[in-house]
Chains A and B, each alone.
Chain A
Amino acid sequence: AQSVTQLGSHVSVSEGALVLLRCNYSSSVPPYLFWYVQYPNQGLQLLLKYTTGATLVKGINGFEAEFKKSETSFHLTKPSAHMSDAAEYFCAVSARAAGNKLTFGGGTRVLVKP
């Protein structure tokens, strides 16, 4: 079985400040991990993914995430927030044993203050 927990359903950051979104997962087999972003009235856009190899993954729009197996975490960061980063962010996990089923966290809505 797989599960994802995103700590904090809402995060408020100032423009230019660090963005840190937390994601912890549970998986009985080596996971694939994803971060998706959803802008208002739009679908989900893939930000980045971890499958194998380097544990620090760089994505689009300046975001990156680090897979930490010992902590079962895949936190998303961006050094400097921009107003355009205001959106909802979803962490998801899949595992080869589960076919291609994605299990999503509850999402974190990011508000960027000028």
Chain B
Amino acid sequence: ETGVTQTPRHLVMGMTNKKSLKCEQHLGHNAMYWYKQSAKKPLELMFVYSLEERVENNSVPSRFSPECPNSSHLFLHLHTLQPEDSALYLCASSQGTSGTDLDTQYFGPGTRLTVL
């Protein structure tokens, strides 16, 4: 596997379910991100982790719970979601978060989430 991978690619869940999205990066990066891409809305940054420490929580509801056990893996735990949470969830990684030329973000293919 190369780059940034995400599983599952598609997920359908009920509002009372609990599920998790997984992201893995094979680039040796130290920072990882979760984005939400909804129809007709710009990409929204949800969370940023740098060296396994959360450095950004962009006013995301608590029904979304991120976890970064190491610099290669990032999870998004989902519970009690609403239909408006249906979206494409994208993971990205970068070398760091200092905003230098080296910190370009590389994206995974996304998980298409549908909440019934």
Chain A residues within CB distance 8 Å of chain B: 32, 34, 36, 41-46, 49, 51-52, 90, 94-102, 104-107
* Pairs of residues from A and B, 9 with the lowest C-beta to C-beta distance, nearest first: A96-B99, A44-B107, A43-B107, A104-B43, A51-B101, A100-B97, A43-B109, A100-B99, A100-B103
Q: Size band of the B side of the interface?
A: 20 to 34
Encode contact with A along B14-47: 1 for CB under 8 Å, 0 otherwise: 0000000000000000010000000001110100
Q: Contacts A101-B56, A107-B42 known; A94 to B108 CB distance under 8 Å?
A: no
CB contacts (< 8 Å) of B101 on chain A: these are 32, 51-52
B105 partner, pick from A51, A98, A100, beta carbons under 8 A: A100
Query: Closest Cβ of chain A: how far from B25's Cβ, in Å?
Result: 12
CB contacts (< 8 Å) of B100 on chain A: these are 96
Query: Does B103 contact A43, Cβ atoms closer than 8 Å?
Result: no
Chain B residues within CB distance 8 Å of chain A: 4, 6, 31, 41-43, 45, 48, 55-56, 90, 92, 94, 96-101, 103-110, 112
Q: Contacts A32-B99, A100-B98 known; A46 to B43 CB distance under 8 Å?
A: no
Query: Does B109 contact A102, Cβ atoms closer than 8 Å?
Result: no
